[in-house]
Amino acid sequence: MGILEEMAVFFDPEDLIAEFEAMTRDAERVQKETLKRILEENGGTEYLKKWGLLGKTDQESFKACIPLVTHEDLEPYINRIVDGDDSPILTGKPITTISLSSGTTRGMPKFVPFNDELMESTMQIYKTSYSFRNREFPVGNGKCLQFIYGSRQFKTKGGLAAGTATTNVYRNPLFKKTMKAMQTPCCSPDEVIFGPDFHQSLYCHLLCGLILREEVQVISSTFAHSIVHAFRTFEQFWEELCTDIREGVLSSRISVPSIRTAMSKLLKPNPELADLIYKKCQGLSNWYGLIPELFPNTRYIYGIMTGSMEPYLTKLRHYAGVLPLLSADYGSSEGWIGANVNPKLPPESATFAVLPNIGYFEFIPLHQTLDGLEAKPVGLTEVKVGEDYEVVVTSFAGLYRYRLGDVVKVKGFHNSTPELQFICRRNLLLTINIDKNTEKDLQLAVEAASQVLAENMLEVVDFTSRVDSSTEPGHYVIFWEMSGDASDDILEQCCNCLDKSFLDAGYVSSRKVKAIGALELRIVKRGTFHKILDHYVGLGAAVSQFKTPRCVGPSNTRVLQILCNNVVKSYFSTAF
């Protein structure tokens, strides 16, 4: 990298904070200008012309002309881009890269446009939260053990590069330079990050971290699930990892030649290190505090820990011991939204300050109007503290008034930009008749029921759900993978507790009059959720972006099949 390029990414965290403060003090004006820039750059597109915007760039005309849309509405346009039509369809400049969003909710990845502007805003978000984090938790020149994985990249029919958003980011040279500017480059070589088999990559990430154990200052991943997954894997393979370090020879389990070559440059026989790690592992009780034992100079653990990642926090805290958990920013393949500028808050109360210059944001209030209609969206600076909203994004990458489908709560303001708490995906997870239960409701029910397990030193490794309408009446089915065996008695208690913990009035009343049948708890074999992860990875999803689907719809036949084929026991609630 030339010195000029290096200087271009170098930044002073205090300057960055000053810019952020200035921008958020003036959020309303910045939003107006951001919309103007987006519409100036893209005014000539087929999409904006179709809606008769006629080159106007003000908020009022924009809202009057352009409808609120979902991904489905934009699919015909996106598909043409994917198929190689490079006329200005959604963006003035042609889109050359496509992101595959995780699509865990509907079982299939969906395509969204990716471009340089998205890459830049990603780095802006990373740098902003880093600057605030660095004030409270400074890191020196060290390394970051990053459990990140590039997914398969391929060319679309129309010749565009397609990969998951995280892969598009990791592959971009700006990413590496920014990580370097943040003083914590990744421990692992590219061959490991972009290896074709994530099991092998994960093994080598662990090995690289162990070799550089003294230098590791941060442990991170995009979503916290990957960190928990990594250390669960460590529990399985630690002895083999020690052998590799002792002998300086990579396990034969690693078969990808490029990974073997890259790792052979790092791996030298080191019996002292192997003995040390071995002893540390043997000295731990049930792996509590594993991370600081292995990596003594770690300052914190970093990754998205909110929303569907919350269920992994107990396990993560167990591995982390005394180390702080710092929740990462809020965004999506469609674009970034907010940075965590209060890194000291525990993940359960983490908030995200919206960056007013990376997109134009609107918020649909979740409460209905008096006539029962959906309320009109409000602007970024018009939201009210304590209220819940669905996020609507207008981006530099061709999305206009796009409903992201996420529900957020406004917790406060940072200057004049709101600080959002992520609540859940808007689509209902579980509903049979008048009952309405979201991902969050399911999570709370599982949390309550797993208390019963905790008393017995057991935990829920992962979970999901479905509505079974093949019975009359229909009922909820909850699938659990557990860390060990529990007695029938305990599981019956858990099942009743789950049923009682859905507090939604529609559910409770329907259960009472038997309009919804008894909740069913199905226990699946160990490793079932790994199979689900493998299935999504096979579809082109990235491990880095993986979120366990918390509800499996009837169209998601393969995942349903995996679950149903692995059920070992099932229980029906007797709570009502």
Whole-number Å distance between alpha carbons of 552 and 429: 9
DSSP letter for each residue of 369-387: PTTSPBPPPEEGGG--TT-
**What binding mask, one character per residue, do residues 143-182 give for ligand AMP by CB under 6 A, x or -?**
----------------------x-----------------
Q: How far is the CB of 551 from ligand AMP (least distance, A)?
A: 14
Euclidean distance between CA atoms 127 and 244, whole angstroms = 36
The pair phi, psi for residue 118, each rounded to 5°, is -65, -40
How many residues does this entry show for the chain?
Answer: 576
Beta strands in 306-416 (DSSP E): 325-327, 330-332, 335-339, 352-354, 360-365, 378-379, 388-394, 402-414
Give the C-alpha separation, 22 to 322, whole Å: 35
Largest Cα separation within the chain, whole Å, is 73
Q: Please, is 360 exposed, middle or buried when counting C-beta atoms within 10 Å of its C-beta (0-12, 13-18, 19+)? A: buried
Q: Which of 31, 34, 42, 102 binds ligand AMP (CB under 6 A)?
A: 102
State whether residue 480 is helix, strand or coil: strand
Q: Which stretch binds ligand AMP (CB under 6 A): 44-52, 121-129, 327-335, 489-497?
A: 327-335
Hey, which residues between 428 and 457 contact ligand AMP (CB under 6 A)?
Answer: none
Residue pair 518/473 in contact by the 8 Å Cβ criterion: no
Closer to ligand AMP by Cβ: residue 406 or 499? 406
Counting contacts by CB under 6 A, is residue 306 touching ligand AMP? yes
Position with the least CB separation from ligand AMP: 307
Query: Does position 101 bind ligand AMP by CB under 6 A?
Result: yes
H or E segment to which residue 409 belongs: strand 402-414
Residues in 525-564 that interact with ligand AMP by CB under 6 A? 545
Nearest Cα to Cα of residue 457 among 286, 293, 319, 317: 286
Give whichever of 327 and 496 is closer to ligand AMP, judged by the CB atom.
Answer: 327
The binder of ligand AMP chosen from 170, 396, 422, 507 (CB under 6 A): 422
Contact of 372 with 394, CB cutoff 8 Å: no
Number of residues counted as binding ligand AMP (CB under 6 A) = 15
Q: Is 342 a binder of ligand AMP (CB under 6 A)?
A: no
* Distance separating alpha carbons of residues 347 and 309, to the nearest angstrom: 10
| Residues in 474-503 at the binding interface with ligand AMP, rule: CB under 6 A | none
Asked if 426 interacts with ligand AMP (CB under 6 A), we say no
Exactly one of 45, 128, 332, 573 binds ligand AMP (CB under 6 A); that residue is 332
Residue placing its CB nearer to ligand AMP in the complex, 234 or 536: 536
Could you say which of 78, 304, 380, 552 contacts ligand AMP (CB under 6 A)? 304
Binders of ligand AMP among residues 360 to 419 (CB under 6 A) are: 404, 406
- Selected range binding ligand AMP among 45-53, 331-339, 555-563, 568-576, rule: CB under 6 A: 331-339
Which residue has 């073997």 as its token pair? 260
Nearest approach, Cβ of residue 156 and ligand AMP (Å)? 18
**Using CB under 6 A, which of the segments 178-186, 225-233, 330-338, 358-366 binds ligand AMP?**
330-338
Q: Are 462 and 488 in contact (CB under 8 A)?
A: no
| Contacting positions for ligand AMP (CB under 6 A) | 101-102, 165, 304, 306-307, 330-333, 404, 406, 422, 425, 545
